[in-house]
Amino acid sequence: MSFVNRVIFEHTYPGNWVKKIVARNTGEKLCDPYLFAPDGAKLRSSNDLLDYLYRHPEYWPDFNVEEIHLERWTDTVKRKDFGAGTKKIKRFLEGIRSGVSPEAALQQLQHVLKDPNAPKTPRSPKPKASSSNTSTNFRHVLNFGQTGFIQ
């Protein structure tokens, strides 16, 4: 069975930033947020967004991280329960706006910029579980530690 990635949320924010939340094509109930910068750059994580903002100082004065972020929320109401990545971006912008140099702001966050020209390393495939091994483990769990197997 083939699944198609489905956009479950899309919103355009001031400055032409676009956030999309897309259902994964694995058939599970998981989703991934993406943020598209005004120039079309696709940002997949808060670290990507922080790297992007560092390299584009034109957004520092007006970027509102409480409104534009990569949280998995599907509402547009300003909330306060941000993840660590969004909090990190907020601290970076607060530092910049208070006069701290961009390099010092990153250093305070202990953030290392990703090299945009570095080649992507392929992920190694996950080992598949043996079906006989799985059923034995399953029977043992159902048996609650008693000796022998369920017939």
DSSP secondary structure of 46-76: HHHHHHHHHH-GGGTTT--TTTS--------
Tens digits of per-residue pLDDT, 82-132? 889 999 999 999 999 999 999 998 888 876 677 766 665 676 776 766 554
CATH homologous superfamily for the domain 6-117: Methyl-cpg-binding Protein 2; Chain A (3.30.890.10)
In this prediction, residue 146 has a pLDDT band, given cuts at 50, 70 and 90, of very low
Give the C-alpha distances (Å, rounded to integers) separating 9 from 21, 54, 75, 115: 5, 27, 9, 30
Provide the CA 23 distance to its chain's centre, in angstroms.
13
**More confidently predicted of 28 and 1:** 28
Tens digits of per-residue pLDDT, 52-86? 999 999 999 999 998 999 998 776 566 668 889 99
CA neighbor of 82 nearest in space, from 93, 71, 92: 71
* 9, pLDDT greater than 50: yes
